[in-house]
Chains A and B, each alone.
Chain A
Amino acid sequence: MVSLNAVLGVATMLFGIGLYGLLQRRSLVAMLISLELMLAAVSMNVIALTSRAGADASMGQVVVLILIGVAAAEAAVALSLFVAIHRSAHTIDVEQLSEMKG
């Protein structure tokens, strides 16, 4: 059995990579991918912690399944928004999409 710390460490690494990507990449698509990575890290944490906490382990698995579903839906919505943004602004570079700035 893998130790809890190992799983949490992998999840943290995954979250860190995702955060780095989110902050670093300019492309909205790349940022979305990074976001998915962070979400995956969260899912891992939930699985790992529920399985060891002595509670009903299946509860954690249900939550993660819902999370995966939400993430998929979210990706779909996000990608369609990106297409719409690309149509109107001809770019999906976040640096240039700053119309709302104060």
Chain B
Amino acid sequence: MSGPIQAALLAQAAPLAASAAILLGLRRHPAAAAAVAIAALGAGFAASTYLVLAVANGSAMAQAVWLPMADGRGLAFGVLLDTLSTTMALVVSAVTLAVMVYSLGYMAGDPGFARYYGFLSLFAAAMLGLVLASNLLQTLVFWELVGLASFLLIGFWFDRPGPAAAARKAFIMTRVGDVGFLLGVLLLIRTLGNATIPELVAQAGPGGAFSPRFTAIVASLLLMGVIGKSAQGPLFTWLPDAMEGPTPVSALLHSATMVAAGVYLVARLHGLFAAAPDVMRVLLWVSLVTAVAAATMAMVAEDIKRVLAYSSISQLAYMLMALAAGSVAAGFFHLVTHAGFKALLFLSSGIFIHHAHSNAMREIAAHSPTRQRAATIGLVSGSLALAGVIPFSGYFSKEAVLATLGVHAGAAALVLAYLGAGLTAYYAARMVFLTLRGGQQHGSPTAPHPTLAQQAAATMMGVPVLVLSALTLILGWTGSWLAARLSPGAEPHAALELGAGPLTALALAGLGIALAWREYGAKGAARTGFVDRFPALRAFFADNWYLDRLYGASVVRAAGWLSRAARWHDQQVLDGAGDGLAAGTTRGGRMLARVQGGQVQMYVAIAVAVLVALAVWLAYAEGLR
């Protein structure tokens, strides 16, 4: 077994072992639990770094048979190391590590501290397993485990009704998509005999064994899973609710991990998806509509975490539209930069929330937020990256996405994408202004001197934020490296040329920010947005475009009705038939028992009557003879 393979196994096994150790043995030892979790993930991070350096091109795979199959060969699981998976592993482990360190401060003193680190480690193991999997079924396994871990993490404060309901919604809604994923994998295994990723990509590509029809069916089934997991199209409403979890969890789930898994899957199987152009067109339009729709929802949200959640949906849509338009490098580039700035935004907002004890932006503004230096820097730089302002990372990656669209997708798509970009700049700026400016100060002007523990906690939370802030300035320059790494053959896109495209995008971003400044930032601004002037529209946006109500009124109600109908049928019809049969038997027995009335004379009378009848019958029969 070569070094990279061992490193890849270590990267998955270390967090898994840490999780098992914490949940089984260290539940009462928070400090040890955190230490074990961070050490294990540190090992994973080191292994991933090594992998990125070791795997510069080509791919390596090691597999072992995991499941005997009808064809006698069995289904092999293992690790697939190539430029894509190793880069993703690095992003995942880096973000997770930042979140773990941050959580030392954020979650300090929580009664479930150890359990929290156990779940985080489980999540990290599942996510790394997903990234490094060599078999699509293995991907599915870890995909579901990521779903499970996110259920546990979103519902971490399970004794409050909100998180419990949100966790349930997230789990079930992503499962709706996963059913498609599972069917797709089953179909592949049925046809191919296995689901090894390079092989199925090769079979789907030109000269492969798959018919275009089959590829299209599989791709659309797999796409269901992507849409559920990456919170796209009609299946995104679980994500804003998932904000009920602890803020670091939101940072983890929404930056590089759970929701990015869908994007990663499309990148991983890009060969297969590219062979199904119709499906890709569907994905393109789904993601375009999602990008704009989620941006409109972010424009009216009052809760800072919900703004960020909608922005995640919207930004994921940008990644997917780049992939749908044909560029893995651009989509993945945006995934990387987004991982950095979205984690940063969540972690910064977490510091504000920690201080204000509220998620509402206007409430945070009232607690002199700018005194949180690190968080302020983080929020501003993260928002600039989100808005796509040069030279922050988001500008470069979004530019790459838009450039791809411009080349491959046509004008209509480009217009929608630009619209989304402008709205993004608007809601990002609105978030910054609402959070940081113009609140009435009702916190005590001289805050009590923080204790030593509080200072330590602040440091733990501040350091990852500052590191990530610095990264927003750095990650933008990795684009050409990534492009060369991921698709070495393709010519590097010209993101840095300030042509018409980038200027348009920058102008739109500036316009959005300026509008937000007029409405929210400037001295004496009304602090209401233009959408607020149309209450119906505002309600429409704020209520997830009424999708939740639609589901509540249709699918959920229908399921409840169907279930009650089945239950009624079971109790009244099937069980009733059984009971009825039993009751009928009993009643029949009673009726027959009445003959045995205990009256001797009745018995005698019957005996005589029968005898007489017999005698008459015999005589008659005799007479006939």
Contacts and interface: CB of A to CB of B under 8 A. Distances in A.
Contacts of A19: 608
B68 interface: no
B590 to A, nearest CB: 9
A67 B597 CA distance: 31
Contacts of A23: 601, 604-605, 608
Interface in A38-97: 94-95, 97
B596 A95 contact: no
A75 to B, nearest CB: 17
A22 B601 CA distance: 7
Interface string B443-477: 00000000000000000000000000000000000
Contacts of B593: 101-102
A24 B597 CA distance: 16
Contacts of A94: 599-601
Contact of A102 (B596, B601, B605): B596
B499 interface: no
Interface of B, secondary structure class, is: helix
B58 interface: no
Contacts of B596: 101-102
B109 interface: no
Contact of B599 (A22, A24, A31, A98): A98
Interface string A18-35: 010011100000010000
A19 B601 CA distance: 10
A101 B604 CA distance: 15
Nearest to A25: B601
Contacts of A100: 598
A97 B605 CA distance: 17
A45 B180 CA distance: 94
A102 B597 CA distance: 7
A97 B603 CA distance: 14
A98 B599 CA distance: 6
Interface string B571-599: 00000000000000000000001001111
Contacts of B599: 94-95, 98, 101
B585 to A, nearest CB: 15
Contacts of A102: 593, 596, 598
Nearest to A35: B604
Contacts of B598: 97-102
Interface residues of A, number: 13
A17 to B, nearest CB: 14
A31 B602 CA distance: 13
A75 B593 CA distance: 31
A98 B594 CA distance: 12
A19 B611 CA distance: 13
A65 B612 CA distance: 27
A99 B598 CA distance: 7
B587 to A, nearest CB: 14
Contacts of A95: 599
A99 B600 CA distance: 11
A98 to B, nearest CB: 3
Contacts of B608: 19, 23
A102 B455 CA distance: 88
A17 B114 CA distance: 100
A12 B598 CA distance: 29
A22 B604 CA distance: 8
Nearest to B602: A23
Contacts of A31: 600-601
A10 B604 CA distance: 22
Nearest to A22: B604
B1 to A, nearest CB: 81
Nearest to A24: B601
Contacts of B601: 22-24, 31, 94
Query: In this complex, which of B598, B604, B605 has the most chain A Cβ atoms within 10 angstroms of its Cβ?
Result: B598
A98 B604 contact: no
A31 B601 CA distance: 9
Contacts of B605: 23
A45 B601 CA distance: 24
A100 B604 CA distance: 16
A98 B598 CA distance: 4
Contacts of B597: 98, 101
Contacts of B604: 22-23
A60 B83 CA distance: 120
A100 B593 CA distance: 11
A36 to B, nearest CB: 15
A19 B593 CA distance: 25
Contacts of A101: 593, 596-599
A86 to B, nearest CB: 16
A58 to B, nearest CB: 29
Nearest to B605: A23
A94 B602 CA distance: 11
B618 to A, nearest CB: 18
A24 B605 CA distance: 10
A23 B605 CA distance: 7
A100 B598 CA distance: 6
Nearest to A100: B598
Interface in A4-20: 19
A24 B599 CA distance: 12
A100 B600 CA distance: 10
A19 B325 CA distance: 107
Nearest 8 A-B pairs (CB), nearest first?
A101-B598, A98-B598, A102-B596, A102-B593, A23-B601, A94-B600, A101-B597, A23-B605
Given A24-B601, A98-B598, A101-B596, 14 more contacts: A22-B604, A23-B605, A23-B608, A94-B600, A94-B601, A95-B599, A97-B598, A97-B600, A98-B597, A98-B599, A100-B598, A101-B597, A102-B593, A102-B596
Interface of B: 593, 596-601, 604-605, 608
13 contacts: A19-B608, A22-B601, A23-B604, A23-B605, A23-B608, A24-B601, A31-B600, A95-B599, A97-B598, A97-B600, A98-B598, A99-B598, A101-B598
